[in-house]
Structure 1
Amino acid sequence: MNRRAGLLFNLVKYRALFLMVVLPAAVLVFNNYIPMFGGIVAFKNYNFEGGILGSPWAGLDNFKYLFQTEDALVATRNTVLYNGLFIVLNTVCAIFLAIALNELRSRKLAKFFQSSLLFPYFLSFVAVSYLAYAFLGGYGYINKMILEPLGFHDISWYTEPKYWTVILPLVNLWKNVGYGMVVYLAAIIGIDQEYYEAAVIDGASKWQQIRKITIPLIVPVIIVLVILQIGRIFNADFGLFYQVPLNTGVLYPTTNVIDTFVYRSLLVTGNVGMSAAASVYQSVVGFVLVLLTNLIVRKTSRENALF
């Protein structure tokens, strides 16, 4: 009885805090946990008449489709390679920009660059695709304002798959680097200034301060963000790979990823079960990769592990 009274007392005493938690917890449950029930569709031959529970079981047939066609294997390869490149490129550039902004003497100039770099993150990929077309189209900026004045022939960017292994990483970097930069900048600002003051007294150069103080102290933040990104290495940004190349068929060898492959297959076959199987496959593999990556980090540096 005393225990119940204590719980009731705490509930009343901290009611404001509990009320603050209720809405985020409800969003988490309804958006993240309840939809997990729909994962059983991946193991069913889904039809709209029977619904989720009434549709017949299909075993692993929906998963077999993901590995039986050459297009599926190409999409899987592209997904992993692109995301691996994105992780490395975005992390390095975000850290570099965060350190550079932190070293700017003018706070107004730093805020201007910070806002300018963060702005693309809030643009939809529909808007980004129009911007990309303005640069890469037949009468786009690159062809008419750069290549032609220099005496080069126009390039048909939307019919040459080889160029998109460079274009897509650059577009992704331009759009997302600002977000990572803000996170790392916040971590750098939180470093105690006494470390730098002591380093200056010892005669450390600015590069030595960055290498010996700044980077080591933000390593935990870097590890956490990289682990979370590795967990989504089998999930591609649909807008980047579908909208920016304008869904051009000739570019599929270098722009087709798991998400776009499943979407196109769903449009052709209408197989909801196959689409659900792809989602389950991505989630399970991502979860396993997070555990493995965190285990490796724990083996090398226990205090930097995510859990």
Structure 2
Amino acid sequence: MKGIGGFFKDINRNKVLLLMALPATIWFLLFSYLPMAGMVIAFKDYRFSRDGFLASIVNSKWVGWQNFKYLFSTEDAYIITRNTLLYNIFFIIVGLVLAIVMAIILAEIANKRLAKVYQTGMFLPYFLSWVIVGYFVFSFLSYDRGMINHIGGWFGVDPTQWYTDKTYWPIIIVLVFLWKSVGYNSVVYLAAIMGIDRSLYEAAMIDGANKWQQIRNVTIPMLKPLITILTLLAIGRIFYADFGLFFQVPRDSGALYPVTNVIDTYVYRGLKATGDFGMTAAAGLYQSVIGFILVMVSNYIVRKFDKDNALF
């Protein structure tokens, strides 16, 4: 075992790398690990007092699992859990496939200036807030002034009440999410493709491989470690939903709750109506614990098949 001297020698030898990691370490300590102490609110009937936040937590009454019982004993518990899981599963699978496809297409474009233009156009939606995206979608779906109903009127099609008809909203939610996120996600895979040794493609061409065979036998296998890591991280957040997507885009329409209400929006509305911080904390703790378990189980399965591609 190394002594204290060896420990400080390692620090001195890696001081540049440690200094580079210091900002991220401080960020995680302040915003990820330090707030963990607040999860005790999930087991209390939290009541804010003028004595301060910490005093309010200490003086609040213990209620055990009551907050969790309230969260999942309602008739909406099945709906919000189902919606959160199914949407995220679809986002992970379809988003992964489209991001890889778009990255491969961009990498194969011979005109690099044109590729940069396409890449910028795909990347731009990621920087738009969900409020702006919500109004953008509204400009298409508005009953009286929406573009879709307006164009449909030219062909004698009756206008649709998009914000009261839940039939099409699962498709709309998925399309809006993919439009906003695929361009950003494809950049990660594009960077990985650019880092692949070109001699591998040259060897494949010498062996007579066409473009599809090069992608299947060189590009995809080289992307496999990155795909595995990003998928495992996405699985860890499978019980989290993008609040802006499910709240701003449907414009908080009650008629659409059966297909747009997820855990995050349900908790927000509950907090807004009742001010129950304990229930909110219980939902956050539930999401975090389930996500942690899913990451551990998924990582264990990956290690069984390919140890090198696992997170740890």
Instruction: Determine the structure 1 residue equivalent to 2:52.
Output: none
1:246 aligns with 2:251: yes
**Cα distance in 1 for residues equivalent to 2:45 and 2:222:** 52
Pairs within 5 Å for 1:123-202: 123-138=128-143, 139-145=145-151, 147-202=152-207
Alpha-carbon offset, residue 8 of structure 1: 5.0
**Cα distance in 1 for residues equivalent to 2:138 and 2:252:** 12
**Cα distance in 1 for residues equivalent to 2:25 and 2:311:** 22
**Cα distance in 1 for residues equivalent to 2:176 and 2:153:** 23
Return the letter of the residue paired with 1:300.
F
**Cα distance in 2 for residues equivalent to 1:205 and 1:71:** 53
What whole-Å deviation, never above 9, does each CA across 1:90-144 have from its counterpart, x for those lacking one?
A: 1111111001111100000111111110111111101100101011112111111
**Cα distance in 1 for residues equivalent to 2:67 and 2:99:** 39
Alpha-carbon offset, residue 149 of structure 1: 2.5
Return the letter of the residue paired with 1:175.
K
Alpha-carbon offset, residue 176 of structure 1: 0.5
Return the letter of the residue paired with 1:39.
M
**Cα distance in 2 for residues equivalent to 1:19 and 1:200:** 44
Provide structure 2 residue ranges, at least 5 long, that are not aligned to the other structure: 50-54
Which of 215, 220, 232 does residue 237 from structure 2 map onto?
A: 232
**Cα distance in 2 for residues equivalent to 1:231 and 1:10:** 33
What whole-Å deviation, never above 9, does each CA across 1:9-43 have from its counterpart, x for those lacking one?
A: 66566655444333322111011100010000001
Alpha-carbon offset, residue 304 of structure 1: 1.5
Which of 86, 94, 106 does residue 91 from structure 2 map onto?
A: 86
Pairs within 5 Å for 1:110-121: 110-121=115-126
User: TM-score when scaled to structure 1?
Assistant: 0.95
Do the aligned residues in 2 keep the contact of 1:72 with 1:261 (CA within 8 Å)? no
Instruction: Determine the structure 2 residue equivalent to 1:44.
Output: 44
**Cα distance in 1 for residues equivalent to 2:166 and 2:85:** 18
Return the letter of the residue paired with 1:171.
V
Provide structure 1 residue ranges, at least 5 long, that are not aligned to the other structure: none
**Cα distance in 1 for residues equivalent to 2:16 and 2:74:** 55
Alpha-carbon offset, residue 150 of structure 1: 3.1
CA 1:289/1:7 → structure 2, altered by over 3 Å: closer, same or farther?
Answer: closer
**Cα distance in 2 for residues equivalent to 1:106 and 1:204:** 22
Return the letter of the residue paired with 1:37.
A
The more displaced of 15-24 and 227-236 is 15-24
Q: For this pair of structures, how many residues does the alignment match?
A: 305
| RMSD, aligned CA | 1.6
**Cα distance in 2 for residues equivalent to 1:22 and 1:227:** 25
**Cα distance in 2 for residues equivalent to 1:277 and 1:301:** 36
CA 1:128/1:303 → structure 2, altered by over 3 Å: closer, same or farther?
Answer: same
CA 1:261/1:305 → structure 2, altered by over 3 Å: closer, same or farther?
Answer: same
CA 1:15/1:196 → structure 2, altered by over 3 Å: closer, same or farther?
Answer: closer
**Cα distance in 2 for residues equivalent to 1:70 and 1:236:** 20
1:21 aligns with 2:51: no
Which of 177, 197, 213 does residue 208 from structure 1 map onto?
A: 213
Return the letter of the residue paired with 1:193.
R
Alpha-carbon offset, residue 152 of structure 1: 1.9
Return the letter of the residue paired with 2:43.
F
**Cα distance in 2 for residues equivalent to 1:287 and 1:4:** 34
Return the letter of the residue paired with 2:165.
E
**Cα distance in 2 for residues equivalent to 1:19 and 1:206:** 44
Do the aligned residues in 2 keep the contact of 1:134 with 1:141 (CA within 8 Å)? yes
Which of 261, 265, 274 does residue 269 from structure 1 map onto?
A: 274
1:75 aligns with 2:80: yes
The more displaced of 283-292 and 297-306 is 297-306
Return the letter of the residue paired with 1:142.
I
Alpha-carbon offset, residue 295 of structure 1: 1.1
Which of 284, 288, 292 does residue 283 from structure 1 map onto?
A: 288
1:217 aligns with 2:184: no
Instruction: Determine the structure 1 residue equivalent to 2:35.
Output: 35
**Cα distance in 1 for residues equivalent to 2:240 and 2:14:** 40
CA 1:30/1:133 → structure 2, altered by over 3 Å: closer, same or farther?
Answer: same
